[in-house]
Chains A and B, each alone.
Chain A
């Protein structure tokens, strides 16, 4: 148990060595939000966002997800580098159990995402409160944070699985982009499901419907905007995503030794 904490601690500390990068990224994300506020709200048809006050208010919870995704995905890039430079040999030679090492790294990626998106989540809650007057209950807030943590862990797991199964950095970056576009494009992070269903082919719309990122964004909206209505499926979806990819990443990480 302690061992897992130490593994998490190491990755966590390395994350904050990039503090200027992080500060830069957070400001950029906040700037995005502002641009959305000014530009898109006027551009996106009112019809589409009528349940959400405005597109800006609709998008705010989605932005938290994009930020979280970016931060949690970073661990994969580092592990990919470690494997290429064979620093992974050091990690694998340590007198600790492999599964502890693996789970520690997955969790570290997850916590990084959560910490990174906290300022954005606070901003989002402030914005949605100003526009809708909704005040989420502590339990609802806790559910939002828990759901985001599961998404973050799933993302970390996904990035680690990709990092380990792609040999070169270029391939990793390519895989990352593909995953990024599929997951975000076919989700309700940027657009409401009604719009997606009317604009995209049915299979892609189906992806959007079951996409854990959609579930995470909509769960936040349910509690922060009051729409769409909360359903247990949203929570199950993110939990499943978190657990499945944590497991896949663990197996992949443990398999690195099969050379």
Chain B
């Protein structure tokens, strides 16, 4: 049984009448990367801010190691480092000054501090710009400075809020590897993201949250295995499908479940898709509903999310 290093108990935050985080219960194990996956507004950032003791819970609490975040705030923070979603940088400052000071205030001895700051700036391709004020930086560059804080600090618990948003794909892979190294050195990483791929490749376990509530938490592979049917066929039609046709399709052999994202956009969960794909296309031809696109996929975390909410993450973002 792995030991939890963060225990979130009934954690709740209300803004006016809105439950941004709604009685959340979750254990995060020592040494794992836990991905907190959810659409915009799911309550990820609010949860993280409560764990870092920046905002106070309305109800419930969490333990950071042995410390209760509601009344041992100073002690809780000694184990934590956080990289924010919106980079928290003073625009008149430079990456060098920001990171050097961060390392100092986190108690790194001088030699180690200089070494790590240089290393992070070089790895994140900020070295040449280290003395420019961040106000001339692009969004991605500011994000790099923000994540560098944590990579230098190497806290026992690293909390990273959408660490690679706005960063190019090469940069993303670099940062993912650096976060994995951080975990391998013994840190626990709590990662909030709304990118399925990021949650999938990086997390040891994924907790899916929606409207402040925890839907499910497990290893990405296990979550995908819970999707009925081993494959997914996603069809977009040029016309809406009728209820009768839908019922008929559901009764087709090997079809386990159908999710109607829109009346003309279906996700069909089934076994051995390769074999019955021709049958499915034939079905729509007979029904005289032209197909716009059709594709066959393995189940993704999006399907897990859809399984629990009836919505894809993309749809949940726009609602």
Contact = CB atoms under 8 A, between A and B. Distances in A.
A and B are interacting partners? yes
Interface of A: 3, 6-7, 9-10, 13-14, 17, 82, 86-87, 89-90, 92-98, 257-259
B155 to A, nearest CB: 7
List the 6 closest A-B pairs by CB distance, nearest first.
Answer: A90-B88, A93-B52, A97-B74, A87-B88, A92-B54, A93-B82
B43 interface: no
Contacts of A97: 74
Interface of B: 49, 52-56, 73-74, 77-82, 84, 86, 88-90, 92-93, 97, 101, 104-107, 155
B84 A89 contact: yes
23 contacts: A3-B105, A6-B101, A6-B104, A13-B97, A14-B93, A87-B88, A89-B49, A89-B54, A93-B53, A93-B77, A93-B84, A94-B77, A94-B105, A94-B106, A95-B78, A96-B77, A96-B105, A98-B74, A257-B56, A257-B73, A258-B56, A259-B55, A259-B56
A97 B73 CA distance: 9
Given A95-B78, A95-B81, A257-B54, A89 B88 contact: yes
B263 to A, nearest CB: 42
B54 A93 contact: yes
A7 B104 CA distance: 10
Contacts of B97: 13
Taking chain B's interface residues, is the majority helix, strand, or loop, or is none over half, making it mixed?
Answer: loop
Contact of B86 (A10, A13, A82, A86): A86
B318 to A, nearest CB: 25
A167 to B, nearest CB: 15
Contacts of A7: 105
A257 B77 CA distance: 14
A254 B78 CA distance: 17
Contacts of B55: 257, 259
Given A6-B101, A6-B104, A92 B92 contact: no
B92 to A, nearest CB: 5
Given A3-B105, A7-B105, 18 more contacts: A6-B104, A14-B92, A87-B89, A89-B54, A92-B53, A93-B54, A93-B81, A93-B82, A93-B84, A95-B77, A95-B80, A95-B106, A96-B74, A98-B73, A257-B55, A257-B56, A259-B55, A259-B56
A20 to B, nearest CB: 12
Given A257-B56, A259-B55, A90 B106 contact: no
Contacts of A3: 105
A97 B74 CA distance: 5
Contacts of B101: 6, 9-10
Contacts of B49: 89
A82 B92 CA distance: 13
A94 B105 CA distance: 8
A207 to B, nearest CB: 37
A95 B49 CA distance: 14
Contacts of B84: 89-90, 93
Max count, chain B CB within 10 A of own CB: residue among A10, A95, A97: A95
Contacts of A6: 101, 104-105
A87 B74 contact: no
A3 B82 CA distance: 18
A258 B88 CA distance: 20
Contacts of B105: 3, 6-7, 94-96
Contacts of A87: 88-90
Contacts of B77: 93-96
Contacts of B54: 89, 92-93, 257
Contacts of B104: 6
